[in-house]
Amino acid sequence: MPANKHNLANKTLRRLPADKIAYRKGDSKCGFSLVEIMVGLVILASVAGSIFSAFSASKSLLVSSREISIATSLAGSYLAAASAIPLKDVTVFAPTDENELPEPFKPASLNIMASPEPFKRSVSLLALDQAGLEGGPFYQIRVEITWQRKETGSTAIYNSSTLLQGNAE
């Protein structure tokens, strides 16, 4: 009877799928070694780091270009509106904050919006060729936009200017 029990046990014993896998025993042609995995991880980390760095740089450039675009728009809209001021109303003044400008040069008088935060607009008006030697008088309107950069916290400056020409009659 013990032989019969042994045969019965062999018949009911099933092999699981994991039992059929041949494990590598010193065969270098199957699988990966620990050194290969470590080298692969180093390469993966360097590639991932450079991709992250590229995305960080592009985000920084995008924010910077957005800020410069806003500053350009603020200066350009002011210069376009100020060019329509009659020369008889023009008075020369040093760089002045937009809140303290003389009446025809205030943003509200020119029907343009004031500078949003963190941007600040400063305007100056200089007289050039008042003797009329070069076809003047000329007036130079200079707009300076300053703001704090979000990325670095440093102060950025954008300057733009235009000339007004005509007689002061």
List pLDDT tens digits, range 106-162: 998 899 998 998 999 999 999 887 776 777 788 899 999 999 987 788 999 999 999
Residue 134 lies in a domain: yes
**Residue 102 structural domain:** 34-165
Residue 10 lies in a domain: no
Q: Is the pLDDT of residue 87 over 50?
A: yes
Q: How far is CA 7 from the centre of its chain?
A: 78
Q: Is the pLDDT of residue 19 over 60?
A: no
Q: Cα–Cα distance between 139 and 162 in angstroms, integer? A: 8
Residue 107 lies in a domain: yes
Bigger pLDDT: 50 vs 9:
50
Residue 18 lies in a domain: no
Q: What is the mean pLDDT of residues 6-32?
A: 60
> Is the pTM higher than 0.95?
no
Mean pLDDT of the chain: 82
List of residues 6+ apart from 147 with CB closer than 8 A = 67, 71, 118, 119, 120, 155, 156
Q: Give the model's confidence band at 69: pLDDT under 50 very low, under 70 low, under 90 confident, else very high.
A: very high
Residue 23 lies in a domain: no
Number of domains forming the structure of the chain: 1
Q: Which of 27-36, 49-58, 82-91, 118-127 has the lowest mean pLDDT?
A: 27-36
Q: Cα–Cα distance between 72 and 134 in angstroms, integer? A: 30
What was the pLDDT predicted at 168? 46
Residue 20 lies in a domain: no
What was the pLDDT predicted at 166? 62
Question: Residue 71: how many CA atoms within 13 Å on its side-chain side?
Answer: 24
- Which residue type does 157 have? I
Q: Is the pLDDT of residue 84 over 50?
A: yes
Residue 48 lies in a domain: yes
Q: For a pLDDT cut of 90, what percent of the chain falls above it?
A: 39
List of residues 6+ apart from 138 with CB closer than 8 A = 127, 128, 129, 163, 164, 165
Counting every residue written for the chain, the total comes to: 169
Residue 3 lies in a domain: no
